[in-house]
């Protein structure tokens, strides 16, 4: 009985610590209605928004707005990279 309980606890912990591969290819697209970059799925039937990376538009400073937009794009690129390379990332982690 105690061995079964131990196995159950170990299996539960493994489920928590092992990240599943989302197997979703994504692309980055600027939002049509918001100051944000959207990360969306590329597969037909799975073209839904995965994430949104907003940025602050500064009305009286084009320089700050451009800087904020570029910084948000870098964050969106990182998120996109992780989704598009999830096989390699998880394999390096040893979860496959």
The domains of the chain are located at: 2-93
Strand ranges across the sheet with 26-30: 26-30, 36-41, 49-54
Q: Give the model's pLDDT for residue 62.
A: 96
> What are the pLDDT digits (tens) for 15-26?
555 667 778 899
CA distance 85 to 52: 19
Task: Give ∠ CA 79-90-11 in degrees, rounded to 5.
Answer: 120
* β-sheet bridge partners, residue 26: 41
**For 41-63, what is the mean pLDDT?**
90
pLDDT bin (cut points 50, 70, 90) of residue 96 is very low
Write down the pLDDT at residue 91.
78
- pTM for this prediction: 0.74
């Amino acid at each position: 009985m105690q061995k079964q309980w131990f196995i159950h606890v170990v299996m539960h912990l493994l489920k928590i610590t092992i990240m599943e591969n989302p197997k979703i290819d994504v692309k980055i697209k600027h939002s049509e209605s918001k100051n944000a970059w959207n990360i969306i799925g590329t597969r037909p039937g799975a073209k839904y928004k995965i994430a949104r990376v907003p940025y602050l538009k500064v009305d009286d400073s084009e320089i700050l707005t451009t800087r904020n937009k570029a910084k948000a794009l870098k964050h969106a690129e990182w998120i996109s990279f992780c989704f598009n390379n999830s096989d390699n990332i998880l394999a390096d982690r040893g979860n496959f």
